[in-house]
Amino acid sequence: MRQERRKIVAASVAASTALALTLAKTGVGLTTGSLAVLAAAVDSLMDVACSGLNAFFLRVAADPPDAEHAYGHEKAEALSGVIQAVIIAIGGFWLVGRGLWYLLRPEPIRSPESGVAVTAFCVAVSLVLVTYLRHEARATRSLALRADAFHYVTDITTNLVAGVALVGYRVLGWQWLDPVASIVIAVYIIVSAGQILRDAAEELLDRGLPREAEDEVKGMLDGFAAEVRGYRAFRSRRAGGTTFIEFRLLLDKGASFERSHEITEAAIRRIRERHGEHAEVMIDTDPV
């Protein structure tokens, strides 16, 4: 339960931070008339929505198995990733259209210095937040927090692009820099959405662990016990922070029931040492 609690706290911190950054950038964007800053504000607004979704779905994922969900609710994290990807993509396409419109009908920017100041502040805050979220995502093996961290990487990028565009406008007076920067931000957002959707879909479709996971089990079984003759029907998947591994262990037909049970339990302990104590390992034995 400690891991679930850490996930929820991290998602809540991210949502609160994103809301503060959104308000700051929206205010400056409306005051200065900078589309690039408003684009960065839209990106942060999506972060608010996504982090809020994470906080909700992580609470769902933390629910224990029940009569209708014997394998638990941890795929709720992947579902959160799908919804986030859709939200991000919609915002990205809207920004592309808005940027093209401003290219055709450019408008002057008022006080670009204010925009540069707020984007620099947001970059510093986002750097701290990304470091925190990535640490928590690794510690809890959370796809949702990894997606959240990726959002704030895009936030750093969008703020840098917006800031550079405003500096270029202030120094060179090129009005087209602002809408072009907003389009660049939008394209980055759309690509990010595609990557998040791919990762979430793979988990929902029960994609197996990398081939190395099976190779590890094979290496572990070599010389593991004199009665072991190999394995077959290896399957694996991941749901949230839980790894599922199952296979059929081939044992010498002369092995007693007690010895078979002893070998199986020892194999499960060895696998959990590698994949975490909460890994779900199912091993059936076949005599050969």
Residue 117 vs residues 37, 113, 233: alpha-carbon distances, Å: 11, 6, 59
Mapping DSSP onto H, E and C, the string for 137-198 reads HHHHCCHHHHHHHHHHHHHHHHHHHHHHHHHHHHHHCCCCHHHHHHHHHHHHHHHHHHHHHH
CA separation for the pair 118, 103 (Å, rounded): 24
CA separation for the pair 158, 180 (Å, rounded): 12
Q: pLDDT tens across 185-244, in order?
A: 778 778 878 887 887 777 777 677 777 777 777 777 777 777 878 788 888 877 666 778
Q: What is the pLDDT of residue 107?
A: 67
Within the chain, residue ranges assigned H as helices are: 2-32, 35-61, 76-104, 112-140, 143-172, 177-204, 211-221, 257-275
Pairing of the two strands 242-251 and 280-287: parallel
Domains for the chain: give ranges and CATH numbers: 2-204 (1.20.1510.10), 211-287 (3.30.70.1350)
Provide the angle, in degrees to the nearest 10, between the axes of the packed helices 143-172 and 2-32: 20
CA separation for the pair 178, 48 (Å, rounded): 24
Contact, 194 vs 88, CB < 8 A? no
Backbone angles phi, psi at 239, to 5 degrees: -130, 110
Q: Which residues of the chain have pLDDT under 70?
A: 1-3, 51, 54, 58, 61-62, 65-74, 106-107, 143-144, 206, 239-241
